[in-house]
Structure 1
Amino acid sequence: MYYIGIDLGTSAVKLLLMREDGKIENVVSREYELSFPHPGYSEQNPEDWYRQTLDGLKALVSVVDPKEIGGISFGGQMHGLVALDEEDRVLRPAILWNDGRSIEEVRYLNEEVGKKVISGYTGNIAFAGFTAPKILWMKNNEPELFARIRKIMLPKDYLAYRLSGSFCTDYSDASGMLLLDVKNKCWSAEMLKLCGITEDMLPKLYESYETVGYLKPEIADSLSMRHDVVIAAGAGDNAAAAVGTGTVGRNKCNISLGTSGTIFITADSFCVDSNNALHAFAHADGHFHLMGCMLSAASCNKWWMDNILKTDRYAKEQTGIVRLGENHVYFLPYLMGERSPWNDPMARGAFIGMSLSTSRADMTQAVLEGVAFATRDMYEAAGSAGITPERTMICGGGARSPLWRKMISNILNISIDIPACEEGPGIGGAMLAMVADGKYSTVEEAAAAIVAVKSTCEPEPELVKKYEERYQSFRKLYPALKTVYGEL
Structure 2
Amino acid sequence: MLYIGVDLGTSAVKLILMEADGTIKNVVSKEYPLYFPKPGWSEQKPEDWWEGVTEGIKELTKDFDKNKVAGISFGGQMHGLVILDQDDQVIRPAILWNDGRTGKETNYLNEVIGKDKLSAYTANIAFAGFTAPKLLWVKANEPELFEKINKIMLPKDYIAYKLSGVHCTDYSDASGMLLMDVKNKCWSKEMLAICGVTQEQMPKLYESYDVVGTLKPEVANELGLSTQCKVVAGAGDNAAAAVGTGTVGDGRCNISLGTSGTIFISSKEFGVDENNALHAFAHADGSYHLMGCMLSAASCNKWWMDGIIGTKDYQNEQAQITKLGGSQVYFLPYLMGERSPHNNPDARGTFIGMTMDTTRADMTQAVLEGVAFAIRDSLEVAKSLGIKIERTKICGGGAKSPLWKKIIANVLNLKVDVIESEEGPALGSAMLAAVANKEYTSVEEAAEKIVKVVDTIEPTNELVQKYEEKYNKFKQIYPTVKGLFDIIKE
Normalised TM-score (structure 1): 0.96
Give, in angstroms, the shift of residue 38 of structure 1. Answer: 3.7
Unaligned regions of 5+ residues in structure 2, if any?
none
Aligned to 1:102: 102
Segments of 4+ moved more than 6 angstroms: none
The aligned counterpart of 2:122 is 122
Counterpart position of 1:197: 197
* CA distance 1:46–1:305, shift in 2 (3 Å): farther
Alignment of 1:214-293 (within 5 A): 214-293=214-293
Counterpart of 2:177 in structure 1 is: 177
Whichever residue aligns with residue 83 of structure 1, its letter is I
Give structure 1 stretches of 5+ with no counterpart.
Answer: none
- How far residue 295 of structure 1 moved from its aligned partner, in angstroms, is 1.6
* Structure 2: distance between partners of 1:436 and 1:97: 28
Give 1:60's aligned residue: 60
Contact 1:274–1:385 at 8 Å: present in 2 too? no
Partner Cα separation in structure 1 for residue 357 and residue 207 of structure 2 = 55
Aligned residues: 488
For the residues of structure 2 that align with 1:280 and 1:41, how far apart are their CA atoms? 26
Could you list the per-position Cα deviations for residues 75-97 of structure 1 after superposition, in whole angstroms to 9, with x for gaps in the alignment? 11111111222333323332222
**Paired residue for 1:295?**
295
Q: 1:28 to 1:321 in 2, by over 3 A?
A: farther
One-letter identity of the residue aligned with 2:323: R
Q: What is the percent sequence identity of the aligned residues?
A: 66
Show the 5 A alignment for 1:44-443.
Answer: 44-443=44-443
SS of corresponding position for 2:341 = coil
Q: Distance in 2 between matches of 1:272 and 1:376?
A: 18
> 1:419: how far off?
1.1
> What amino acid is the match of 2:427?
I
SS in 2 for 1:55: helix
1:346, 1:486 within 8 Å by CA — same for their partners in 2? yes
Q: CA 1:57 to 1:108, structure 2 compared with 1: closer, same or farther past 3 Å? A: same
Provide the C-alpha distance between the structure 1 equivalents of 2:100 and 2:395, rounded to a whole number of angstroms: 26
Deviations for 1:415-436, whole angstroms, at most 9, x for unmatched residues? 1111121211111100100011
- Per-residue Cα deviation, 1:103-154 (whole angstroms, up to 9, x for no partner): 2222211121111111111111111121111111222222232222222111
CA contact (8 A) 1:247 1:253 kept: yes
Indicate if the aligned counterparts of 1:274 and 1:384 stay in contact, CA closer than 8 A: no
Q: CA deviation at 1:329?
A: 2.7
User: Helix, strand or coil for the counterpart of 2:423?
Assistant: coil
Deviations 1:336-387 (A, max 9, x none): 2211101112222223333443333333322222211110010011011111
- Separation of aligned partners in 2, 1:336 and 1:320: 28
CA offsets per residue over residues 166-207 of structure 1, 9 Å max, x none? 110000010111100011110000000001111111110000
Please give the secondary structure, in 1, of the residue aligned with 2:280. Answer: strand
- The aligned residue for residue 455 of structure 1 is 455
Partner residue of 2:8?
8
Higher alpha-carbon deviation: 438-447 or 97-106:
97-106
Q: How much is the aligned-residue C-alpha RMSD, in angstroms?
A: 1.7
- Distance (whole Å) between structure 2 residues aligned to residue 354 and residue 37 of structure 1: 40
The 3 A distance-change label for structure 1 pair 214 and 168 is: same
Compare 306-315 and 344-353 and name the one that shifted more.
Answer: 306-315
Query: For residues 371 and 65 of structure 1, do their structure 2 counterparts lie closer, same or farther at Cα, with a shift above 3 Å needed?
Result: same
Deviation per residue, 1:40-96 (Å, 9 max, x gap) = 333222222221222221221123222211111011111111122233332333222
